[in-house]
Chain A
Amino acid sequence: MSAVIDDHGHAGHDHHHGPAKGLSRWLLTTNHKDIGSMYLWFSFAAFLLGGSMAMVIRAELFQPGLQIVQPEFFNQMTTMHGLIMVFGAVMPAFVGLANWMIPLMIGAPDMALPRVNNFSFWLLPAAFGLLVSTLFMEGGGPNFGWTFYAPLSTTYAPESVTFFIFAIHLMGISSIMGAINVIATILNLRAPGMTLMKMPLFVWTWLITAFLLIAVMPVLAGVVTMMLMDIHFGTSFFSAAGGGDPVLFQHVFWFFGHPEVYIMILPAFGAVSSIIPAFSRKPLFGYTSMVYATGAIAFLSFIVWSHHMFTVGIPLVGELFFMYATMLIAVPTGVKVFNWVSTMWRGSLSFEAPMLFAVAFVILFTIGGFSGLMLAIAPADFQYHDTYFVVAHFHYVLVPGAIFGIFASAYYWLPKWTGHMYDETLAKLHFWMSFVGMNLAFFPMHFVGLAGMPRRIPDYNMMFANFNMVSSVGAFMFGATQLLFLFIVIKCIRGGPAAPAKPWDGAEGLEWSVPSPAPYHTFQTPPDMSEVHEHRKGTGGELTP
C-alpha cells in the first residue's frame, strides 16, 4: 500500500476555495470534513451531558438511602443518561468518524449526497434540544428507562412523552439519511481499482452498520408511532384490554434494539482493525474472515432480540431458540478477537495512546462478551435479569468497547485532522485514568448484580454499600478524566509538533497519502488503486519503515 503514498491528494487544479467564513460555514456546509467535525463535537457535548447525569446517579448511589435526588428525578436521570449516550454520544461519534474518514479511505471527493449529509447532522441538535427540553416540562422528562417499555411509557407516562416520541422520530430520520449517504458513498464513490476486498475494515464495518441502521431505525419509528397512537388516539397496540399486548412493545422495540447494539460496536471493530496492525507493524491477520465475521454478526443480530425478554413470559421454544442463536454470536466475535490477538502475535509492538485504547478494547470488550454469554443462558438469566449484572455487562461492551474504540480512533486520526501531534504524555494519562476509573466503576457491579441488587432503583440494601461506594469513586474518576481529553484535543488543535502525512510508521491506507492536516478538498481526481493488491492475497502489507 505504501506504493500509493504520493501527492495525488490535492490534484484539484480548478479554482478551489477553502472553507467559508463565520457561522455560515457550519450552518450551510456540504463538506464532509466540516460535517464530520461537527458530528464529533456534538457527540462529545452529548457525552459530557449524559456523563453528568451518570454523575448524579452515582452520587445518589454513593451511599444507601435517599440523599441527593428524589426517586422521580432519579428515574429521569437513568432514562436520559441512556438515551443521550446511545443516540447522542456513541452513534454520532461513529457517524462523525465515517464522515471524516470514509471519503479519505476510499479516495472519494466527498460523501455521495453532501446536502443530505448536512441535513442529517443538523437534525441532531434539533432532536436533542427537544429531548432535553422535556426535563423542564410540567410532569418532568421521560422517566421510564431508555427502553421505554409500555405501559410505563404510554398509560403512565408524563405528558412530555409526546415530545420524546417526536425527538426519536427526528433522530431516526437523521440516522436513516446518514446511513443512506454512507452506503451510497461506499458503493458508488470508491476510487478506480478500489475493490470491495481492498477497503479498510472501518469502511466494511460501516457499510454493514449502515445497512443495519436502515433496516431497524424505521422499526423504532414504528414502535414510537404505535405509542403515540395508543396515548392520543385510543388504539390498543400495547393494551390487553383491547386485544393488544404490552409484550408486543418489547418485541418491536428489541427488534430494533438488538441490531442497535451492533450499530454501536461494529464501527469500533473496524477502527481497531486498522489501529492494531499499525502499531504491531504487521498486516491485519485474517482480513477476509473479519469481513465475513462482521456480516455474520449483522445477520445474527436480527434473530436474537428476545434474549432481552427471557423473563417476560415467552414460550419455551422461544427461550431455547433465542438462547442458542445468541450463543452463536460468540463464534464470529471470537473470530475477531482471535484475529486481533494474532495480528499482535510476534509483531513489533509500540504502545502509543491509540494502541493502548485498542488493546484495552480487545481485553475489556471480551470481558463484556463473556458476561453476555452468561446472560444468554436463559435459565441463568432468570437470576440476572434486571440486576446490576446486566448494567455491568452492557457498560463493559459500551465503555471500553464503543467509547474506547472512539478514543482510539480520535488519537489515531487527530494528527490527520489537525496537522499536529497530540501530547502523548497527557494522552497516556487520559488512558490510564479512564482505564482504572472505568474498571473501578463497573467491575463491582458484577458482584452486586449477582447478589441481587436491582437496577434503576435509587436506594439499596446496606450489604451493597461498599461496592457501590467503590463504583461511585471509579465513576467520578472516569468522568473527571474526560475533561482532560477535552484539554488534550484543544491543545492539539491549537498547536503541537507538526504531523507528517503519515505519523504512524506502520499505518496503512489512502488517508495517509494526503497531507496533514487534510486539505479542505481531497481526491477531486480519484487515485488509481488498481495496482494495489487485495488484502486476501496476503500481499497488501509490505511496509517500508
Chain B
Amino acid sequence: MSQQTTHEQYYVPDQSKWPIIATVALLVTVYGLGTWFNDLKADRAESSGPLIFFVGALLVAYMMFGWFGAVVKESRAGLYSAQMDRSFRWGMSWFIFSEVMFFAAFFGALFYIRYWAGPWLGGEGDKGISNMLWPGFEYSWPLLNTPDPKLYPAPEGTISAWGLPLINTVLLVSSSFTLTWAHHALRKNNRQQLKLGLALTVLLGAAFLILQIEEYVHAYTELGLTLGSGIYGATFFMLTGFHGAHVTMGAIILTVMLVRILRGHFSPEHHFGFEAAAWYWHFVDVVWIALFVFVYVL
C-alpha cells in the first residue's frame, strides 16, 4: 500500500507491471507488423508476421484492460485528490495537442502539394522548371492525371463533398451535440438521459464509420481512387483514414464509458474519465470539419 492519502498528499502508485507489459506488447506488435509488411513486399509465401502481430495486439488489449482497470479501481477507491485530477487533465490536454500535431503533418503535406509542389510540377511559379521532368504534364486539383500514369494510374473521379461526406458531417456534428447533452445530464445526475445521449453518440459514430466504409468501397471499385493513384489518393486516404481510425478509437472509448455508466460509475462531481472521452470525441469532430473543408470541399 502506498500512502493512505490525507488530502494534501499526492497519490504515488506502487510498483506496477502494466508499463513493462505495455512495452513488450508494443514491441511484439510492431515487430510483427514490420515482418508482415516486408514479407508482403518481397512476395514471400510464408510469413510469421501476422501471427506475431496478432499476439502483440492481444497483449495490447490485455494491457489496456488491466492498466485502465487499475486506474478506474483506484479512482473509485477515492485515492485521487483534486490535484491528481488536474494531472490527468493536463495529461489528456497535451495528448490531444500531440494528436493535433500528427494531423498537422498530413494537412501540411496537403497544403504544400496543392500550393507549391503541384503547380511547380505543372510548370507554374518559382520552381516551374520541375516541369522538365514530365514535359507537358498539366497540374490540376483534384489530380486526375499523374505525371507517370504507369506507376501511379490516375483516378477517374473523386468523391463529391455534397453526397456522403455532407451526411457524415451532419452525423458527427450531431454526435457532438448528443454527447454534450449526455454530459449535462451526468452533471444533473439524470442517468436515463445520460445513457440515452451516450448511446446515441456511439450509434451516430458507428453510422459515420459505415458510411465512410461505403465511400471507400465506392472510391476503390468505381472511381479507381486508391492509395496508389497519385498524390490526391495518398493525401485523401491518409487524412480520412487516420481520422476514421480515431473515430473508431473514440467510439470504443465511449462504449467503455457507456458500460461503466451502466455499472453505476461516475458521479455529477467526479467523472473525468467521461470528460476525457468527450474531449477526445470533440477533437475528432473538429478534425473532421477541417477535413470536410480542405479535403472534400476546396
Q: Which residues of chain A have a CB within 8 Å of any CB of chain B?
A: 12, 14, 16, 20, 24-25, 27-30, 108-110, 112-116, 118-119, 122-123, 126, 129-130, 159, 162-163, 165-166, 169-170, 173, 176, 179-181, 183-185, 187-189, 214-219, 221-223, 225-226, 228-229, 231-237, 239-245, 247-248, 251-252, 255, 313-317, 521, 524-526
Residue in B closest to A35 when the chains form the complex, CB atoms: B19
When distances are taken between beta carbons in the complex, the residues of chain B under 8 Å from A315 are 125-127
Residue in A closest to B152 when the chains form the complex, CB atoms: A242
Given that A166-B30, A219-B104, A237-B231 are known contacts, is A14 also in contact with B146, CB under 8 Å in the complex? no
When distances are taken between beta carbons in the complex, the residues of chain A under 8 Å from B90 are 112, 180, 183-184, 187-188
B151 contacts A214, CB within 8 Å? no
Task: Report if B200 contacts A (CB, 8 A).
Answer: no
Q: State which residues 98-122 of B face A: CB under 8 Å.
A: 98-102, 104-106, 108-109, 112-113, 117-118, 121
Q: State which residues 1-57 of B face A: CB under 8 Å.
A: 3-4, 8-10, 12-20, 22-24, 26-27, 30-31, 33-34, 37-38, 40-42
Q: In the complex, A223 Cα to B147 Cα: how many Å?
A: 23
A130 contacts B31, CB within 8 Å? yes
Given that A189-B10, A229-B234 are known contacts, is A180 also in contact with B94, CB under 8 Å in the complex? yes
When distances are taken between beta carbons in the complex, the residues of chain A under 8 Å from B106 are 222, 226
Given that A30-B13, A245-B117 are known contacts, is A233 also in contact with B227, CB under 8 Å in the complex? yes
A235 contacts B101, CB within 8 Å? no
When distances are taken between beta carbons in the complex, the residues of chain B under 8 Å from A187 are 90
- The dominant DSSP class at the B interface is helix
B19 contacts A118, CB within 8 Å? yes
Given that A14-B3, A30-B14 are known contacts, is A115 also in contact with B19, CB under 8 Å in the complex? yes
Q: Which of A24, A110, A159, A180 is B42 in contact with, Cβ under 8 Å? A: A159
Given that A176-B98, A214-B98 are known contacts, is A248 also in contact with B91, CB under 8 Å in the complex? no
When distances are taken between beta carbons in the complex, the residues of chain B under 8 Å from A24 are 15
**Can you list 22 contacts pairing A with B, beta carbon distance less than 8 Å?**
A20-B15, A24-B15, A27-B20, A30-B15, A110-B10, A113-B87, A122-B20, A126-B26, A126-B27, A163-B30, A180-B94, A218-B101, A218-B104, A219-B108, A222-B102, A226-B105, A235-B234, A241-B134, A242-B231, A243-B152, A244-B231, A255-B105
Q: Which of A163, A166, A219, A244 is B117 in contact with, Cβ under 8 Å? A: A244
A237 contacts B234, CB within 8 Å? yes
Nearest-CB distance from A248 to chain B (Å)? Answer: 6
B12 contacts A109, CB within 8 Å? yes
Residue in B closest to A112 when the chains form the complex, CB atoms: B87
Task: Report if B180 contacts A (CB, 8 A).
Answer: no
When distances are taken between beta carbons in the complex, the residues of chain A under 8 Å from B34 are 162-163, 165-166
B105 contacts A232, CB within 8 Å? no
B12 contacts A242, CB within 8 Å? no
Q: In the complex, A179 Cα to B98 Cα: how many Å?
A: 10
- The dominant DSSP class at the A interface is helix
Residue in B closest to A126 when the chains form the complex, CB atoms: B27
Q: In the complex, A109 Cα to B125 Cα: how many Å?
A: 58
Q: In the complex, A170 Cα to B56 Cα: how many Å?
A: 14
Give the interface centre of B9, B18, B38, B151 by most chain A CB atoms within 10 Å.
Answer: B38
Q: Which of A14, A231, A240 is B147 in contact with, Cβ under 8 Å? A: A240
Q: In the complex, A286 Cα to B143 Cα: how many Å?
A: 55
Q: Which of A181, A189, A243, A314 is B121 in contact with, Cβ under 8 Å? A: A243
Residue in A closest to B234 when the chains form the complex, CB atoms: A235
Q: In the complex, A223 Cα to B108 Cα: how many Å?
A: 11
Q: In the complex, A166 Cα to B31 Cα: how many Å?
A: 8
Given that A115-B16, A180-B95 are known contacts, is A241 also in contact with B146, CB under 8 Å in the complex? yes
B143 contacts A233, CB within 8 Å? no
Q: Which residues of chain B have a CB within 8 Å of any CB of chain A?
A: 3-4, 8-10, 12-20, 22-24, 26-27, 30-31, 33-34, 37-38, 40-42, 67, 83, 86-87, 90-91, 94-95, 97-102, 104-106, 108-109, 112-113, 117-118, 121, 125-127, 130, 133-134, 139, 143, 146-148, 151-152, 226-235, 237-238
Q: Which of B17, B87, B118 is A184 in contact with, Cβ under 8 Å? A: B87
When distances are taken between beta carbons in the complex, the residues of chain B under 8 Å from A214 are 94, 97-98, 101
When distances are taken between beta carbons in the complex, the residues of chain B under 8 Å from A30 are 12-16
B19 contacts A216, CB within 8 Å? no
When distances are taken between beta carbons in the complex, the residues of chain B under 8 Å from A247 are 117
Can you name 18 extra interface pairs (CB under 8 A) apart from A122-B19, A188-B86, A252-B105?
A109-B12, A110-B10, A112-B90, A114-B12, A118-B20, A163-B30, A176-B98, A183-B90, A219-B101, A219-B108, A222-B102, A229-B227, A232-B41, A236-B146, A243-B113, A252-B109, A314-B127, A525-B9
Residue in B closest to A121 when the chains form the complex, CB atoms: B19
Given that A242-B147, A242-B151 are known contacts, is A524 also in contact with B3, CB under 8 Å in the complex? yes
Q: Which of A114, A166, A170, A216 is B101 in contact with, Cβ under 8 Å? A: A216
Residue in A closest to B122 when the chains form the complex, CB atoms: A243
Q: In the complex, A116 Cα to B18 Cα: how many Å?
A: 9
Nearest-CB distance from A4 to chain B (Å)? Answer: 18
Q: Which of A114, A237, A255 is B13 in contact with, Cβ under 8 Å? A: A114
B12 contacts A243, CB within 8 Å? no
Residue in A closest to B86 when the chains form the complex, CB atoms: A188
9 closest Cβ pairs, A-B complex: A222-B105, A234-B228, A242-B152, A119-B19, A235-B234, A243-B231, A241-B148, A315-B126, A245-B117
B33 contacts A166, CB within 8 Å? yes
When distances are taken between beta carbons in the complex, the residues of chain A under 8 Å from B231 are 236-237, 242-244
When distances are taken between beta carbons in the complex, the residues of chain B under 8 Å from A118 are 16, 19-20
Q: In the complex, A239 Cα to B234 Cα: how many Å?
A: 11
B148 contacts A183, CB within 8 Å? no
Q: Which of A122, A169, A215 is B30 in contact with, Cβ under 8 Å? A: A169
Nearest-CB distance from B64 to chain A (Å)? Answer: 12
When distances are taken between beta carbons in the complex, the residues of chain B under 8 Å from A255 are 105, 108
